[in-house]
Structure 1
């Protein structure tokens, strides 16, 4: 059972992100049709740029380490709340797909989907930490 917990802990964030980015790609596709190969790369570029920008902020331009101090309970609970971050991120990509021209929607859709996911997932982890702190007090 400990191996299963370890596998879940090490893959929870990546799993949620994978589900989200696939859903975001599908949402933009549903609104703009099948992308060209170039538009797929624009989508990927947007997603990667957002991750890089947030990592730069979180690490103060890569001068501070990212601590891995959260306990397994917090990560498990926070990851179980990913429905919110995934849904919000896919909704953000869909909104971008509705309001921007097709090629711009591919770039901006990937960017906003990733930003929405990461920021909302951070809130979910914060909620999970507060719940675990409350449980520890009792």
Structure 2
């Protein structure tokens, strides 16, 4: 197997899985932090957690597609790469928010609320990271000199 094939596979994986990976890390840490704060929940709480995250995705999908009437556009791979590389921010803030939400909200409500909040905030921050990456990609390259005449 040639190294170029492996490199191609890595690029494809990063392009197709980057945001999902960041979200997976965020929602996993949210579940772990919530589990510590809630002191060993029952099975139903895990279902509430999953439903809270699913509702967040459904609501944002509804809004992003204008009621499922507008297609979601593809980003150029360079924008995707840069956006995903900024995910330290979205993952870090999501983890802190998960801890804060899990600490402040008690009882059964903590489970769907934490996953909902973490999901919404992660996706909003990831969208901001992509917007910054797109803006950076549109900026003209600098050559190390001032642009003054």
TM (norm. structure 1) is: 0.93
- Segments of structure 1 that go 5 or more residues without pairing to the other structure are none
Structure 1 residue 126: Cα displacement: 0.8
Moved over 4 A (4+): 135-138
Paired residue for 1:109? 114
1:51 equivalent in alignment to 2:48: no
CA separation in 2, counterparts of 1:120 and 1:44? Answer: 20
CA separation in 2, counterparts of 1:87 and 1:78? Answer: 15
CA separation in 2, counterparts of 1:5 and 1:61? Answer: 33
Structure 1 residue 129: Cα displacement: 1.0
Paired residues for 1:1-138 under 5 Å = 1-68=7-74, 70-135=75-140
CA separation in 2, counterparts of 1:82 and 1:34? Answer: 30
- Cα RMSD (Å) of the superposition? 1.4
CA separation in 2, counterparts of 1:60 and 1:35? Answer: 37
Distance 1:10 1:135, change over 3 A: farther
Structure 1 residue 137: Cα displacement: 7.3
**Structure 1 residues 69-95: Cα deviation after superposition (integer angstroms, max 9, x where no partner):** x11111111101111111111222222
More helix by share: 1
Structure 1 residue 54: Cα displacement: 0.2
TM (norm. structure 2) is: 0.86
CA separation in 2, counterparts of 1:23 and 1:135? Answer: 38
